[in-house]
Amino acid sequence: MLKRWLLWMVPLLVLFGPSLGEAAWKEEWQKVLKAAKKEGVVAVSGPAGVQSRDSLTKPFEDKYGIRVNFFGASGRELSPRIMAERRAGHYTWDVYVHGTTTGLTVMIPAGAFKPLQPALILPEVTGAKNWRGGGLELLGKGGLLAVMTPFQRGTIFVNTNLVDPKEFKSYKDLLAPKWKGKMAVDDPTKPGPGQATFTFFYLHPELGADFIRALAKQDLIMLRDYTTQADELGHGRYPVLIGTADFVVERRIRQQVPIAVVNPRQLKEGSDVSPANGAAALYQNAPHPNAAKVYINWLLSKDGQSYFAKNMGYISARRDVSTDHTFPWRVPQPGAIKTYDEHAMMMKKKVRVLVREVFRR
């Protein structure tokens, strides 16, 4: 009897399987979407700036008619606020869009996120073929943090009125006596692109701790505000800047400010891969759980990624999102060092100890 049943069922599964699966996800999507529209709002914490706000609010609102309550801040500013709210029993936010450092070192240890996989409904999001590397990359035990935009980072930035960017062939060129006292750096003792850059230095087999110690002897000017870093580079206060936020520099380049990013492919050691502020998660105890599901599916779709990656100057991990809006060298190179995953976070603890020692912070 079992054999006869199988002979009947196999053709039926082949014939109707895909349509039954399609009906299931469509039914679930319509149910979640209806509940989301009833909630009427989704609360998103994202990166500071007009570009991030515009890409993470208006396109979603226009498509679904659900208002986005957006809070823009750096990861350094975000985590104290979120942690204080949660300790007080206030659960204000639905969706997290920031960097992996804040996510992995603060939010996940505090139990602030819930697994993403159960919330992913749209086939274009769940389909492995749509993502570079064969699937959406999830970090954290249980898959808590999605890596949306891993890209090759720029790490050295120059004022083109003062420096020819092509003269740098290795990071060791930064150790030349002529650069002493003339270089600025994003504060590597704090989470951010400066710390990611020094983590890359630390992890690279041809650089390491000795290179960091030598670089510290160059009397670097340490700054913490990304906009100030880019503007003062553009004004020529210093000719070289190390490890700032790429998207701020690219914005100034488009505004014809005399700044250039040193192409990592001309550097012997290359550069690291990082999503910058392109990681996403769902908060535990979200006030608008259905709207949050709709939002995360939209954000990870071709539509959402196209807006976000283009406005931020990032490279989406989706294969079907254009890369024409930014430098070709940003597409991740095979084997490039990652400065955003769990291993890198463990190494960053050592990096923080080292940079505080060498910079006496």
Q: What structural domains does the chain harbor?
A: 2-151+276-330 (3.40.190.10), 154-271+342-358 (3.40.190.10)
**Is there a contact between 263 and 329 (Cβ–Cβ < 8 Å)?**
yes
pLDDT the model gives residue 361? 66
Q: Is 233 exposed, middle or buried (0-12, 13-18, 19+ CB in 10 A)?
A: buried
pLDDT the model gives residue 16? 41
The alpha-carbon radius of gyration of the chain (Å, integer) is: 23
pTM confidence score: 0.85
State the number of CA atoms in the 13 A half-sphere of 352 facing the CB.
Answer: 11
Q: What are phi and psi of 188, to 5 degrees?
A: -80, -5
- What beta strand segments (E) does 229-306 contain? 240-242, 259-261, 273-274, 279-283
pLDDT the model gives residue 19? 53
Edge-to-edge order in the sheet of strand 240-242:
221-223, 183-186, 240-242, 156-159, 259-261
**Counts of helices then strands in the chain (DSSP H, E):** 13, 14
Start-to-end CA span in the chain (Å): 77
pLDDT the model gives residue 15? 40
pLDDT the model gives residue 10? 42
- What beta strand segments (E) does the chain contain? 41-46, 67-72, 95-98, 113-114, 137-139, 145-147, 151-152, 156-159, 183-186, 221-223, 240-242, 259-261, 273-274, 279-283
Q: Rounded to whole angstroms, how far apart are CA atoms 278 and 346?
A: 20
Read off the DSSP letter of residue 318.
Answer: B
pLDDT the model gives residue 22? 85
State both tokens at 243: 């490890």
Residues of the chain with pLDDT under 70: 1-20, 361
Q: Rounded to whole angstroms, how far apart are CA atoms 334 and 98?
A: 24
Q: Which residue bears the tokens 């002493």?
A: 180
